[in-house]
Structure 1
Amino acid sequence: MRMTISLSQNRTLIAGLSKAEKRSRDWIVFLPESAADFQTGSRSELVRLIGRGLAAHFNFLTINKPGVGPRKVDREAFERSFRRHYRVKDALAAMKAVIPPGDRIYLVGYSEGAYLAPEIARLDRRVMALAMIGGGTRGWLKEELSNARPREKAAVQRKIREIQKHKTSTEKWMAFSYATWHSYREDRTLEALKKLRRPALAILGSRDRTIDLKSTLNDLKRLAERKPIQIEVLPRCGHSFNGHWAPVGRALREFLRTP
């Protein structure tokens, strides 16, 4: 099933959803990566994520990005909404429109969605637990500087200063506009995790070079000393998790059975 969700600033997104065969008040809500194709929210998508047995107990909602449609992407609409504050507000709007009051939500965020999940969880009391797949804890510009090779540091620092001067520009750097980079500059994921009281699972690839893996692990380990945060690091796995979705599914199944 597809549902068009009305958003602020005359924007819309298409949510994909499906219900469990037997009545359920539990929902898996999937927050996809930044470059995700259109997702239908079908039972088969949920089965691929968490397995057939557990999927039978959950309704499923996947929140497509504004501008992402079943046949094409409206690039202008996509770019206009590719700002962190919009991503958070849009997810909350979709959950409010689709999921009845009193139902329980289990967030699963992948890549960009993982960065957003803790902040969204804090703003909707129905969220019982969240899983973050391939997401970091720090601002994106900081991560790029941290991951840069020594000979690249100066160039990255210059680019960061340029982005800070032109923070609303749609000029691109590494596929994202300056405005997008600027909107993700702060450590809002880390700050949300510090205030979070729900159980959380972080699944990371040991070879991920997109996020700042070292800072992410250090942050999560410190937080896990006093918060219900589990950390799963998959060996020989990069940011895309290609060839590693089976262990991701196992980790999700174990986690979702325990909150």
Structure 2
Amino acid sequence: MKKAGYIFLFLLLHGFMAVGQIFPKSFFEHYQLSTKKTKSFDIYVTKPVAKGPKPLLIYLDGSGNYPIEYKTKSGRYSTSIAMNIGRYAKDYYVVIISKPGTPFSDSLQYSHSGRAFYPENASYKELYSLDWRAETASAAIDFLVKKGDVDKNKIIVMGYSEGSQVAPKVAVLNKKVTHVVCFVGNALNQLYDFMIGARLQAYSGKISAEEGQEIVDSLYREYAKIYENPTSVTENWYGESYLKWSSFTQTTPLENMLKLHIPILYVAGGRDNNQTILDMDYAKLEFLRKGKKNLTYKVYPNADHYFQEEKVVDGKVKKTDRLDEAHQYAIDWINANHQTERTPTTAK
């Protein structure tokens, strides 16, 4: 594969790394849960500020095995969670879930080239899949509802990037979910996005048409290997196991969205270099075609994958961070689409 293809795939395959508001482990109640399918896993729930039931907000972060809180080479702490949790902890129980075998907090490591990474562990390689992520979120909902103090009329699953792919699946599994919010995640088969990207690079002249075709052909060869051995945790493509890739693409996020009758918010960035908006646009079209009215599609035309904008105003580049604004839009949308009586969660 040509160098341009490697650069393009590097951009798409690296998940969200936020440099945002950091909250210590003491900010949360920690629970270790276990099911037969998922084995043991760790959830963190914001501590109640006041007595009485509150809505539940499950926040699903992006791809990769990063700790929820991590220390960079500079000594600065960052987080895999895009949302400013402290802003909403008073009104919601915000729940975050660690990846398999991954601690809440740790330092990143760096390759000779300077690329940040966190070492994989045996649990992560064995378990990490769409099913694991969806099952753990569903089990967390059941546990916390049974525990009490949860407003059952507002149980929200909110996903960012790869978490956006997981969120609709959680609602299909768990009928307690009342709202789904998906930020900057694909609607179609995730592997198709890499092909779209190669075609767009060729169309824009960044690479030749022949180079674009070479990338697409090489992708088909890799995808064939993945689907021929879909449960393998020893064979990898671009840093993730065949199990991970196959599980996230056997059922598309759009297929799961279409099974739902509850309100869904789908939020895109028009200049997203990690997740092409062409893929996301199709979801709205499919809802229209099927006459389904429970999808709200919100686009920030100038925003990238992290809701950062750059616009030229009077000859100068103006940069705007709209990440907090996008999350507040979602909270406002939830409140505006609040249902006191439940509708069926899945299609018949």
Q: Is the 8 A contact 1:115 1:136 kept in 2?
A: yes
- Report the AA paired with residue 62 of structure 1: I
C-alpha distance 217-187 of structure 1, shift in aligned 2 (>3 A): farther
Alpha-carbon shift at residue 5 of structure 1 (Å) = 1.1
What number of residue pairs does the alignment pair up?
253
Superposed CA RMSD in Å reads: 2.5
Offset from partner CA, 1:10-55 (integer Å, 9 cap, x none): 7211100024322223111111112264348xxxx79715x73x54
Give the corresponding residue for 2:274: 210
Q: List per-residue Cα deviations over 1:146-189 (Å, max 9, x = no partner).
A: 33242311111111112222323332222211221111223431
CA distance in 2, matches of 1:168, 1:46: 30
Task: Give the AA of the match of 2:301.
Answer: P
1:66-91 residue CA offsets vs partner (Å, 9 max, x unmatched): 21212456622112121122222222
Which secondary structure state, in structure 2, belongs to the residue aligned with residue 203 of structure 1? strand
SS at structure 1 position matched to 2:84: helix
Structure 2 stretches lacking a partner, 5+ long = 1-28, 70-80, 107-118, 200-211, 309-320, 338-348
Match of 1:236 in 2: 302
CA–CA separation in structure 2 for the residues paired with 1:39 and 1:246? 18
Amino acid at match of 1:175: G
Q: 1:138 aligns with which of 188, 191, 195?
A: 188
| 1:233 counterpart SS class | strand
Aligned position for 1:76 = 122
1:124 to partner: Cα distance: 1.6
Of 76, 79, 94, which aligns to 2:140? 94
Match of 1:2 among 21, 24, 30: 30
Match among 35, 51, 57 for residue 28 of structure 1: 57
Match of 1:175 in 2: 239
What does the per-residue CA deviation read over 1:84-128, in whole Å, with 9 as the maximum and x for residues that have no partner? 222222221222222337733111111111111112112222211
Distance 2:94 2:191 in 1: 33
Distance 1:82 1:67, change over 3 A: same
The Cα of 1:141 is off from its aligned counterpart by 2.0
Structure 1 residues 171 and 244 mapped into 2: Cα distance closer, same or farther (>3 Å)?
farther
For residues 226 and 142 of structure 2, the distance between their equivalents in structure 1, rounded to whole angstroms, comes to: 34
CA distance in 1, matches of 2:48, 2:284: 33
Task: Identify, as 1 or 2, the structure richer in helix.
Answer: 1
Q: Map residues 20-169 of structure 1 onto 2, 5 A cutoff.
A: 20-22=48-50, 23-35=52-64, 37-39=66-68, 48-49=84-85, 52=87, 55-72=89-106, 75-100=121-146, 103=152, 104-149=154-199, 150-151=212-213, 152-169=215-232
- Are 2:336 and 1:258 equivalent residues in the alignment? yes
Q: Which 10-residue stretch deviates more, 213-222 or 173-182?
A: 213-222
What letter matches 1:227 in structure 2? Answer: K
Q: 1:109 to 1:47 in 2, by over 3 A?
A: closer
Shift of 1:136: 1.1
Distance 1:99 1:8 in 2: 20
Cα distance in 2 for partners of 1:199, 1:36 equals: 30
Larger CA Rg, structure 1 vs 2: 2
Which of the residues 223, 238, 248 maps onto 2:287? Answer: 223
CA contact (8 A) 1:205 1:238 kept: yes
**Whole-angstrom distance in 1 between the partners of 2:101 and 2:60:** 15
Could you say if the C-alpha distance between residues 8 and 144 of structure 1 is closer, same or farther in structure 2, counting changes exceeding 3 Å?
farther
CA 1:205–1:47: 2 relative to 1, 3 Å: closer
Question: How high is the TM-score relative to the length of structure 1?
Answer: 0.86
- Letter of the 1:121 counterpart: A
